[in-house]
Structure 1
Amino acid sequence: MKKIAFVLLLLVVTTITFAQNKNAKVSIEVDGVCLMCKERIEKAAIRAKGVKSAIWNVETHELKLIYDERKTNLKAIQQCIADVGHDTKEIKATDEAYNSVHPCCLYRDKDVQKDHKN
């Protein structure tokens, strides 16, 4: 009986250990309006421990990430992005962080959004 319990425990631990992906790929939506936003968002994501690639599309607001699930998680990456002033669907930037971005990058402002549509 002890051997069966040990084998089951070993199986569970092995499954949990190897279930984490060192090259997880995911896309998330991040608010922004311009190339300055792109640079800020990508730098914030790359600075998060375990992120290997971060590419944000200005038109679609899609951030494509490749990251090591053993070193970080999606919530931590989104928090790094919110800390530099950009909202994700899960985490909103604080007013202080949002107001710290360049005036051209104030994506919550309808007038700024209109200016960047053309």
Structure 2
Amino acid sequence: MKKRIFGLVAIFLFGSMVVSAKNKTEKFQVKGKCGMCEKRIENAATSVEGVETAKWDEESQNLEVSFNAKKTSSKKIQTSVAMAGHDTELFSASDKKYSDLPGCCQYQRDENKTQMNHGDSSECSHEKTTECSDDKSATSNSCCGGK
């Protein structure tokens, strides 16, 4: 009986380690101002397949996400948040998405910061962030300035 219980406990612990090995938690900056922003940011993050939880803190401007690293990445999550109108560490929302935000949600943008701009595209076709331009114009529909 003791061997059986020990065996079940060992299987449970091993299974837990395998499951947690692919789960990842990360924090990154996301610009916003209010409770409406919080809901929009968290919804954009959790809409990405593989994201388990997302919590944005208005004071620190940080989004903490827990996700399955085999299904998604921080880059994909930040792309989704930028597509919702909020600048992240890696991506700037398009000018159109930003201007479509309610007035109370329009945060101060840092126009001098070089960031990737995904405009209305869903993902870059390349991997290196240094290949992207910092074009933030409303006419740019890709992170590469219309490449």
> Which of the five TM-score ranges fits, normalised by the shorter chain?
0.7 to 0.9
User: Which of the two has greater helix per residue?
Assistant: 1
Structure 2 counterpart of 1:87: 87
User: Identity over aligned residues, as a percent?
Assistant: 37
CA contact (8 A) 1:23 1:68 kept: yes
Q: Output the aligned Cα RMSD.
A: 1.6
> Following TM superposition, by how much is the alpha carbon of 1:100 offset from its aligned partner in structure 2, in angstroms?
1.3
Please, what TM-score do these two structures have when normalized by structure 2?
0.59
> Following TM superposition, by how much is the alpha carbon of 1:108 offset from its aligned partner in structure 2, in angstroms?
2.0
Aligned residues: 91
CA contact (8 A) 1:55 1:64 kept: yes
Structure 1 counterpart of 2:59: 59
**Equivalent residues in 2 for 1:1-118 (5 A)?**
21-108=21-108
CA distance in 2, matches of 1:22, 1:96: 36
Question: Hey, which bits of structure 1, 4+ residues long, moved more than 2 A?
Answer: none
CA distance in 2, matches of 1:57, 1:49: 22
CA contact (8 A) 1:30 1:62 kept: yes
- Select the structure with the greater relative contact order (CA < 8 A; seq sep ≥ 6): 1
Could you tell me which amino acid in structure 2 is paired with residue 42 of structure 1?
Answer: E
- List per-residue Cα deviations over 1:34-68 (Å, max 9, x = no partner): 00000000000000110000000011111111000
